[in-house]
A and B are shown apart, each in its own frame.
Chain A
Amino acid sequence: MDLSTKSQGDALVEEAPAAIGMPVALPRRSRTAFLRSIFSEERFFLILSVFIGVFSGLSVVCFRFAIDWCRIYLLGSGYTLSTSRLLLAPTLAGLVIAVLVIHVFPLARGSGVNQTKAALFIYNGYIPLRTAVGKFITAALAIGSGHSLGPEDPSLQIGASLASAIGRQLHLSRDRMRLIAPVGAAAGLAAAFNAPISAVLFVIEEVIGRWTAGILGSVVLSAVSSVVVMRWFLGSESLFRIPPVELKQPSELIAYAVLGVVGGLASVVFSSGIATLRPRFKALPNWTQYFQPALAGLLIGLIAVLGAPQVMGAGYEYIDEAMHGQFTWQFLAILAGLKIVATLLSFVSGTPGGMFAPTLFIGAMLGAAVGGAEHVLLPHLTGSPGTYALVGMGVLFAGFLRVPMTSVFMVLEVSGNYSIIVPVIVANTFAYVISRKLQPTAIFDILTRQDGLDLPSMEEQREEGILRVEDAMRPVTDPVLKAEETLEQAWQRANANAPEVPKVLLVQLSPTGWSSVTLEELKTMIKEGKNTLTLASVLAGRQVPFLHPDHSLDTALRYVDRWPLVPVVSRADFRQLEGVITQQDVLKRYRDFGEG
């Protein structure tokens, strides 16, 4: 069965036996038709999304086990780790990872978000299953041994890769194949984050870039089913224990705005560091690729030995501690800085692993540090370190990953507290604006361009100006004819302003509706002796579609090709003419826009 050929399924329903409920033995063709009526491609894809969610959820659970086992056996089971393990584990793991990435799993390098995007826009949804296996092994080894990376982006790629493999086995159509990778990505991310809404939003905001009901249904189903599976095995607790958070005084929003500014600047430092160092590391001789992850691991181990073991791994337990006020603000600020350094080292060395967890870590530390410092300066502030840490996480998400919607919903979903929404929006807006101003290209776009790909930038798409009908339409200067006018009257009115005689005239039909008639047609019909006939009688069945001023110019393009003059009417009153538009007007506007 090739699902791509099944679009006629609904038409075949008619061949089913009419006597519904009767025990009729279906003929073979009818049985197929009946099944197809149940399993239309749309519905089948939705059911498939649930399976993708289940498989992704199970894979992510295994991935979490693998990371924990790596950590226990490589770094030890204690909270305080021995110096030798701190130095050796990430270094040796780095060597193994380098060999695996260079010789066995070359596509496992990096975070996984861009690879999924590339699958969607370049490879028709194709991600080799080998990538999932490679990502699973190398990322578990890296994170478990203490490299400063997180499990979310790899989970996203594992989910996408699994979904792609299932889609290939089922010979899905090209369109469905393109969609299946993001569906798996959302499932993987949702399971890793234990936050289905954020995962759905992230995939739509950063990977797919558009909202349609079809995509949304599949993505939501897969995300929810993967989260259900994950919670079945790992419990429903969120990643952090959230302390009570509230905003008591609106004046405190200024404090959160300050956090937004600091977070925006930190995001720029972080993304600039990656943008600058990554190509330089890649440009080093090939043999150095074997040692880059090991060297990064050694340096991270050194940071840990020197007093900041918190920078190792994903660091969720330390985010939790920061939220509960267990570090001084000075130490929190140092941790934020060191985590940026450690993550830069891990990421630019090509070690597989995600950026989400480090981003959350840096944000939480920075948030709690800024909150703590503000408390020292202004003791009357009531926000707890936990509140600032939570807002800080959203700030870095908005500033560094540049996903403003996800950043807000992530904080809400993780905290389960809607009273924090205003500080989050204020701080995120500042961070986003500052980050965009100082680093115009988003980090994911920088990475794809460095890899020689030209994937559509979701941020640029969001920001792109849309040309609308109102930008191209022109005012009505020619006479508008009434349906009840005779052809004779119409001819006279058309020629009233001679010598500027219009070639096409609009006709207002009653009670609503529009039509048009060319001067040439009028002339011909009068010659044929129809001059006493009304326009309504001769133009019956020749309605012209109308547009509204806010319609996109792309929409207008579909009509102006077929009708020489299209009326633009008010949405409040379809009889009120706002202007007219022709193909020439549209093309001229596009030309002007391109030149501008």
Chain B
Amino acid sequence: MANGSMRLDLRNSLRQEPVILTLLTILAVLFFLAVSGLSHIYHTQQQSLGNRWFDRGVTDLNAQRFERAVSDFRTALLYSRDDYSYEFNLAEALIGLKRTDEAYAYLINLWDEEPENGLVNLELARIAAHKHETDKALRYYHNAIYATWSDSDEELERRTTRLELIDYLLGIGARTQAESELIALAANLGDDAAQQLRVADLFARIKDYEHALAEYRLVLASDRNNPAALAGLGMSAFQLSRYDVARRYLEAAAAANPNDSQSAELLKTTELVLRLDPYQRQLSVAERNRIVIEGFAAAGERVKACSPAGGVPEQMPNSSAPNNLAAKRAKWEQMKNQVTEQGLRRNPDLVDAAMDLVFDIERQSNATCGPASGADLALLLIARLHEGN
């Protein structure tokens, strides 16, 4: 009887709400601990599988087996859906397969997650550039330039990205934008000779020879025999009509790299310019007269070849005065007997008149009969050099 009453009391006590809630709490904690244990096993396995497939993917990606790499990275993502590097590498593999739309989808997700990630911005910029979406490409390139670059030399990555942007701008003909990017880049350029040389080349490519010259000089400051820098500096000086400087560096370039035919060719022209320019200082009268006679003769050959006697020269497109050349030839014929050593000595004013005619003939011939070469090109360059004097 007493036992029965105790059991009833116990049962009643167990049915009290606080007791029920305490029991439920204990059960919940136990269940929670058990699931925590399972969860640990589960997540460890998921992580291990993810890493294993990711490592395989990286190996395949490095070996350019893009199809397999895509499959590997996708598998890795099954086990860690939001792993940043898994997704990024998958996007890279997709880019390798030229599946840029899919890659873009992954990259844009990564971008949403980390808009300041340099690599992601760069890849997005490349895809946008590939799809001819200029605005987007520029935005992502600029994002990449000012982004954070983990695990690498940030400044180097930024400069490399800017260089890529400049290439892209030049590719789409945005020369002004490219020039401003180049100036910004040059201002932040470190001691990396390769990048300095690249920047100098780009300045030369956009015909900003002053900046190019300065950059080539920086390269030579750290590597005085760099053939590319020597050639580039010589060419830039040549374009700036600084023929003395050009000759010095072009000679050095030709010596440093005998296979550099372009520099050799420029050197020849430079030497001709320096030899055929009668307005150089410190020339004796005899020497000057000899140069004038040589130039006059060369112009005569050019005008004869371009405008045969009595014939109408073959007209170049956009040539406004085809028959002018015949008049020049007539004038040349008229002056031919006066432009002699004796005639020039007797009449020093004839030097200017003769050279004016020479320059006119070269300009006209260049416009009418096609690009000049050799002595004609040199005379043309001399004409440009003294234009306005």
Contacts and interface: CB of A to CB of B under 8 A. Distances in A.
Interface in A348-401: 386
Given A62-B35, A324-B109, A1 B16 contact: yes
Contact of B81 (A229, A241, A243): A241
A549 B241 CA distance: 101
Contact of B82 (A79, A237, A326): A237
B39 interface: yes
A559 interface: no
Contact of A55 (B28, B75, B78): B28
Interface string B60-98: 000000000001101101110110000000000000000
A44 B21 CA distance: 9
Interface string B346-358: 0000000000000
Contacts of A229: 32
Nearest to B20: A170
A233 B28 CA distance: 15
A68 B42 contact: yes
A210 B109 CA distance: 40
A325 B75 contact: no
Contacts of A69: 42
Nearest to A44: B17
B287 interface: no
B108 A244 contact: yes
Given A54-B28, A58-B31, A65-B38, A35 B105 contact: no
B68 to A, nearest CB: 9
Nearest to B49: A77
Interface in A284-336: 317, 320, 324-326
A84 interface: no
Given A233-B35, A326-B102, A35 B16 contact: yes
A49 to B, nearest CB: 12
A504 B17 CA distance: 55
Contact of A61 (B24, B35, B82, B106): B35
Nearest to A78: B75
Nearest to B68: A80
Please classify the interface of chain A as helix (H, G, I), strand (E, B), loop, or mixed, using the class held by over half of its residues. Answer: helix
Given A51-B28, A65-B38, A170-B20, A1 B109 contact: no
A102 interface: no
A228 B25 CA distance: 16
Nearest to B13: A1
A539 interface: no
Contacts of B21: 47, 51
B153 interface: no
Contacts of A317: 77-78, 81
A170 B46 CA distance: 39
Contacts of A2: 15
Nearest to A233: B39
A229 B35 CA distance: 10
Nearest to A326: B102
B31 A243 contact: no
A104 interface: no
B42 A324 contact: no
A1 B17 contact: yes
B31 A55 contact: yes
Interface in B20-43: 20-21, 24-25, 27-28, 31-32, 35-36, 38-39, 42
Contacts of A55: 27-28, 31
A61 B33 CA distance: 13
A35 B18 contact: yes
A307 to B, nearest CB: 15
Nearest to A43: B17
Contact of A58 (B35, B75, B105): B35
A72 B53 CA distance: 14
B15 A1 contact: yes
A417 to B, nearest CB: 12
Contacts of B77: 317
B5 interface: no
A433 to B, nearest CB: 33
Interface in A494-519: none
A241 B17 CA distance: 44
Given A58-B31, A241-B82, A78 B105 contact: no
B112 interface: yes
Contacts of B36: 233
Contacts of B78: 79, 317
A590 interface: no
A190 to B, nearest CB: 17
A243 B38 contact: no
Contacts of A62: 35, 38
A326 B36 CA distance: 36
B101 interface: yes
Nearest to A69: B42
Interface string A37-52: 0110000100110010
Given A44-B17, A241-B82, A65 B42 contact: yes
Nearest to B28: A54
B12 interface: yes
Contacts of B25: 51
A352 to B, nearest CB: 22
Nearest to B43: A233
Contacts of B49: 72, 77
Given A51-B21, A77-B49, A237-B81, 18 more contacts: A1-B15, A1-B16, A1-B17, A48-B24, A51-B25, A58-B28, A58-B31, A62-B38, A68-B46, A77-B75, A78-B53, A78-B71, A166-B24, A229-B32, A233-B35, A317-B78, A317-B81, A326-B105
> What 7 pairs between A and B have smallest CB-CB spacing?
A1-B15, A324-B105, A39-B17, A79-B75, A79-B74, A326-B102, A233-B39
18 contacts: A35-B16, A38-B17, A61-B38, A62-B38, A65-B38, A65-B42, A68-B42, A69-B42, A77-B53, A79-B72, A170-B15, A229-B32, A233-B35, A241-B81, A241-B109, A244-B112, A324-B106, A325-B102
Interface of B: 12, 15-18, 20-21, 24-25, 27-28, 31-32, 35-36, 38-39, 42, 45-46, 49, 53, 71-72, 74-75, 77-79, 81-82, 101-102, 105-106, 108-109, 112
Interface of A: 1-2, 35, 38-39, 44, 47-48, 51, 54-55, 58, 61-62, 65, 68-69, 72, 77-80, 166, 170-171, 229, 233, 237, 241, 243-244, 317, 320, 324-326, 386
